Amino acid sequence: MTRRMLGSLGAVVAGAVMLAGVASAHITPPVVLMSDRDAVVTLLAGAQRFFVREVRLSPAEREAIKRQTGWTPDEDFYRFYLGRDGQGRLVAGTIFVTEFTIHGPVRVAVSLGPDGKVRGATVVELTEETYPWVKPLIDLDFARDYAGQDSRGHFHLSDRLGSLEAMPQFYGQVISGLIQRAALLFELGVLRRGDAS
Amino acid sequence: MNGIYLSRLPWSGKVFCTLFLLGIGCGALAAFTQAATAIGLSPAEVQASLAPAMPMTHMSPGQMVGEKEITLGEISSAAKVWIRTPLLIQTSHTHLFGQTLIAGLLGLIFLFSSLREWAKALVLALPFVGTLVDIGGMWLTRFVWPGLSVLVIAGGSLFALGYALITVISLWQLWIGTVVRTSGIRGAGAPPSEASL
């Protein structure tokens, strides 16, 4: 009797351990590669004064973004860090954009010039699970492929990344989509609304 | 319970329970370190990660744009995770499954301790209650009142307290304690319950 009960107990424990393993396999701790301040300092190089601009999108602006990218902006407001020179002229702006993938969030800081063109981008936060897939992209400095493009540019992976495996390529598409979102948000939130300096 | 007690388990059962408890302890330490580095351990730090972002420009609710000059010191230099709703959903589902399964396995072992029923029920409830308070506190912090971030700390502490009590008592009864007292339920076919030190 006791042996049978111990056997049952063992089966229950084994089942629970398997379930716990399945559940814990989906817990993906975040990996923060860079603080917001470091990203702003790096991406707004050349600026002498720093400003923060916060913008609420109108329903028409949200619709325009959805039409162009398929993504619907859902934040209450979007924050831009603007860098200006000594005379108050806009040098560049930086915005942080995030995609919540099935493997966790991927957060990217994107810098844009006064002409609305991408100056640079850097991944600031991802997860343990996505890091091995995104690292090959970071190592190849893949974001430079989008420098000089505005929101209507081609945000596809360049041929030089064609040899990467499927998951890095997938995350390359995710991040390039984020860079395009940033360019579009900058265009609507900063350039079209005029420079408030 | 039903004549099976930790102190009377065969060697294989004792080794299993011991290694499981120690393994969970190592996992808990790693989780504590992860929480300390990614989020922080004070209610203020939890609040900063979970509460909705407030405009730095003090935009009023209907205002469409706000801008102000800042110093770099106003931008967060800490590499901290900012948990927004999609990540909160993801964190909730993984942690509710994971922590409840861990609490269940801890409780399963603890069911075979020889404490009084009320004490056993109280101790094994702690990790379950802690999990609910912890995750519930995250949602309340985000959507009800940021000051409720104290619940996240309280929930984590309850889980840790429950784990510590279960582990110390279970290990004691597995390897050191001996049954010293018989009391409690007696009835038709019911074995006596026992208490040990």
**CB-based contact, A123 to chain B, within 8 Å:** no
Decide if A171 contacts A106 (C-beta within 8 A). Answer: yes
Contact A40 B86 (CB under 8 A): no
- Residue among B68, B70, B87 minimizing CB distance to A100: B87
Give residue B98's pLDDT: 92
Q: Is the confidence at residue A21, as pLDDT, over 80?
A: no
- Lowest-confidence segment of A24-38, A121-135, B24-38 by average pLDDT: A24-38
Decide if A113 contacts A94 (C-beta within 8 A). Answer: no
Contact A2 B97 (CB under 8 A): no
Give residue B54's pLDDT: 81
Give residue B45's pLDDT: 84
Decide if A178 contacts A97 (C-beta within 8 A). Answer: yes
Q: Is the confidence at residue B191, as pLDDT, over 50?
A: no
Give residue B139's pLDDT: 94
What is the percent of chain B where pLDDT is above 70? 88
Task: Give me the residues of A, 126-155, that contact B with CB < 8 A.
Answer: none
CATH class of this structure's domain A28-191: alpha beta
Give the model's confidence band at A14: pLDDT under 50 very low, under 70 low, under 90 confident, else very high: low
Contact B87 A193 (CB under 8 A): no
Contact B97 A41 (CB under 8 A): no
Backbone phi, psi, residue A53, to 5°: -120, 130
Alpha-carbon span A84 to A58, nearest angstrom: 26
> Mutating which of A12, A24, A102, A124 best tests the B interface, going by the most B Cβ atoms within 10 A?
A24
* CB contacts, 8 Å: B52 with chain A: 76
Decide if B46 contacts A14 (C-beta within 8 A). Answer: no
Greater pLDDT, A29 or B67: B67
The three-class DSSP label of residue A92 is: strand
Give residue A7's pLDDT: 64
The domain limits of chain A are: 28-191
Greater pLDDT, B54 or A166: A166
DSSP A72: P
Tokens of B26: 């190592």
- Rounded to two decimals, the pTM is 0.70
Q: How confident is the prediction for chain A on average, in pLDDT?
A: 85
- Nearest-Cα distance to chain B for A146, in Å, is 26
Decide if the complex's ipTM is over 0.90: no
Give residue A30's pLDDT: 75
Contact B67 A52 (CB under 8 A): yes
The domain limits of chain B are: 6-52+79-183
Give residue B196's pLDDT: 45
- Residue among A38, A49, A105 minimizing CB distance to B69: A49
Q: Is the confidence at residue A91, as pLDDT, over 50?
A: yes
Task: Give me the residues of A, 80-119, that contact B with CB < 8 A.
Answer: 81-82, 98, 100, 104-105
Pairing type for strands A90-101 and A104-112 reads: antiparallel
Burial string for A79-118 (b: 16+ CB within 10 Å, else e) reads bbbbbbeeeeebbbbbbbbbbebebbbbbbbbbbbbebbb
Task: Give me the residues of A, 152-191, that contact B with CB < 8 A.
Answer: 189
Query: Any bridge partners for residue A49, and if so which?
Result: A84
Interaxial angle between packed helices B117-143 and B43-50, expressed in degrees from 0 to 180 and rounded to the nearest 10: 50
Q: Which whole-number Å values give the CA distances from B24 to A82, B11, B106, in the listed order?
A: 47, 20, 9
Helix (H) or strand (E) holding A101: strand A90-101
Q: Is the confidence at residue B189, as pLDDT, over 50?
A: no
Contact A27 B102 (CB under 8 A): no
Give residue B193's pLDDT: 46
Task: Tell whether the torsion through CA atoms of B25, B31, B33 and B39 is positive or negative.
Answer: negative
Task: Give me the residues of A, 56-85, that contact B with CB < 8 A.
Answer: 56, 58, 76-77, 79, 81-82
The three-class DSSP label of residue A135 is: helix
Contact B87 A17 (CB under 8 A): no
Task: Tell whether the torsion through CA atoms of A27, A31, A35 and A40 is positive or negative.
Answer: negative
